[in-house]
Chains A and B, each alone.
Chain A
Amino acid sequence: MYEKEEQKLNDFKDRLEQVPLPLDAADGAIMQGLERAKREKMQIYANRKRTVWSLAAAALLILTLVTTIRVSPAFANAVAAIPGLEKFVELIQNDKGLSAVFENEYYQPIGESQTIGSATLTIDGVILDESGMNIFYTIQSAVDMDDITILAPVLENQQEVPPSSISFNHPISQEDSPKIYRDILGFTFEEPARFEDLAFTLNLKTKLDGKEFDFSVPFTVPENVKPSVTYEMKEEVEVEGQKFTIENVTIHPLRVGVKISFDPANTKKILQFEDMRLEDENGEIWSSISNGISAHGDIEDGELTYFLQSNYFEKPEELYLRINRMQAVDLEDSYFLVDTDKDLLVHSPKDGKLQLTKSSRTGFEMTLKLDQEQDPTYGIDKKVSDANGVLMDLRHSGISDGYDGGVQTIDIGFEDNGYLNPVKVELFSYPNYIDGDVKIELEK
């Protein structure tokens, strides 16, 4: 029917296929594009980490790579009842506590927005409790979203908003709708707070297509928070000779906070709780927060609050806090030292899994040997400082996922501001474990 047009198109195709291609230069272009993307990834990682670390000492960002989730019918119905919310499902469905918030209609729709030029920020809704606020928002723009960066989210109220750790994703536009971006801003308050006046303002500085947009959207939360429930515990436990005390457990709708203090006489430093969880009488489990802020405080201060997914809306007969596995290293193994002038790993954990590959005044690369059947380590550096204890001016830091070759690659870069060697890196996590069986009942 359209043979003639098709013929023309085919002619054009034939002609295109005869054009000689700059294939060698193409390889260069590919490598340049890749380097640029990698640099940016590292930079994003460093930025995000800096935000989190500066606001609260300890925060863990685990990216769940593969999760298979069964969406409960109740959750599916709850989500379907709120227009526009289905787009957020991916962001909330792997947190049981968040899912329950929707099933129990604790999510509060807002719908306030502001338009600056070609871009509109809409606050779709919030979940507010004493531990923090999750803000569900949408940014729509006439320009490509590839270049959107969230620079600085600030929450304001007549009352002072407590210092908060803030979690958010790096925007990735969806294939179907490149001009709409949705995410959740998670504010986790360092100290529980209750606001008398529920009028807030969200200031959100973003960079879109190279231009800065200073959004400022006032909104009022319709209903005040449901009260949190605290269980005072003061229970000391011991795992492989290391002692710590579960001080209390507070159950908020958004999360469960478990406050733990550590015995200063411990010979090991506990880096991470791998499987801390709540378990009810039927063996149902609420595990750690997988996408967001997972802890507050610094073990150096002897006290930390860990966050678990919430079971606020459940009414279990019995509820237990359980811990079986922790990452812990001998105190002298809790850091490593690199002399970047001598290109030397001066000190590192005695198991020898860390090796220095190369170093210079502006950074170094290392490898971490990965044991078979062990999960890759998700972050290596908690704090990087020089010989005088001055924090390094980090440009990027990251660790590869280690899916090939049995090693993970660590890459840390910083400014050469005349720092003094050796550079000290305190470990954030490390593949060395202690095992026990902690099971404590939360008594009503």
Chain B
Amino acid sequence: MDDIEVARKAIQGDEEAFVALMQLHKEALLRTALAFLKNEHDALEALQETTYRAFKKIHALKEPAYAKTWLIRIMINYCQDQLKKDKRYARNGQAADSSVSDDLAQLELQEALNTLSPTEQQLIYMKYFQDVKIKDIAAIEKIPEGTVKSRLHKTLRTLRRHFEGKGEIDHV
């Protein structure tokens, strides 16, 4: 069975296929969770929650080819909600695993990403971390490709401004 076939069966309600689908994408999902939540324990919990949400909603997924992106969107939505909730508490020093973020440039980038809106974060994540094509993002979000491109530009510009604000000089 190829990936699309697995997704198609999962959408039809086949439980084994659903588990297979999750297995297939667990690496990508975990990496997504780590990118946002920064620690293993939270990432595993996020994977559990994503599985839970996905199983409840999988019948609503129309296009098997987009199963992976669909799952990653659920994951990102969950992570973003978690981060919002976490803001109410002061994050303690243990929150981030050092393996995920240990040098200054990375911290700076993450800080910049944090200033983006949830939609912008999702867009950046899909495009640069999951290598989803602009055409596919457009199809999934049901917006024209041109809109995706202009949003991407706007977002990158915001990132640049953030770095420039930090005193970096950019000559492009």
Interface residues of A (CB under 8 A from B): 1-6, 8-13, 15-17, 19-23, 25-34, 36-38, 40-41, 144, 146, 172, 174-176, 178, 401, 403-404
Contacts and interface: CB of A to CB of B under 8 A. Distances in A.
A403 B12 contact: yes
Given A9-B124, A401-B13, A29 B45 contact: yes
B25 to A, nearest CB: 10
A34 B50 CA distance: 9
Main secondary structure of the interface of B (DSSP, over half): helix
A39 B9 CA distance: 21
B60 interface: yes
A37 B142 CA distance: 28
A27 B51 contact: no
Given A5-B159, A33-B52, 19 more contacts: A2-B153, A5-B163, A6-B156, A8-B109, A9-B129, A12-B35, A12-B106, A16-B35, A17-B31, A19-B97, A22-B30, A22-B43, A27-B23, A30-B47, A33-B50, A33-B55, A37-B52, A176-B142, A404-B16
B26 A30 contact: yes
B156 A33 contact: no
A31 B18 CA distance: 11
Contacts of B170: 4
26 contacts: A1-B153, A4-B172, A5-B163, A8-B109, A9-B124, A10-B128, A11-B105, A11-B109, A12-B106, A12-B110, A19-B31, A19-B97, A21-B34, A22-B40, A30-B19, A30-B23, A33-B47, A33-B48, A34-B52, A36-B48, A37-B52, A37-B53, A144-B81, A172-B60, A403-B14, A404-B16
B35 A5 contact: no
Contacts of A175: 60
Given A30-B26, A30-B51, A34-B19, A13 B81 contact: no
Contacts of B55: 33-34, 37-38
A6 B124 CA distance: 10
Nearest to A33: B51
B157 interface: yes
Contacts of B109: 8-9, 11-12
A20 B153 CA distance: 32
B156 to A, nearest CB: 4
A26 B105 contact: no
Contacts of A16: 31, 34-35, 100, 129
A19 B34 contact: yes
Nearest to A20: B99
B15 to A, nearest CB: 8
Given A40-B56, A172-B60, A403-B13, A34 B18 contact: yes
B105 A8 contact: yes
Given A1-B172, A26-B44, A30-B23, A146 B53 contact: yes
A351 to B, nearest CB: 26
B111 to A, nearest CB: 12
B67 interface: no
Nearest to B140: A175
Contacts of A33: 47-52, 54-55
B65 to A, nearest CB: 16
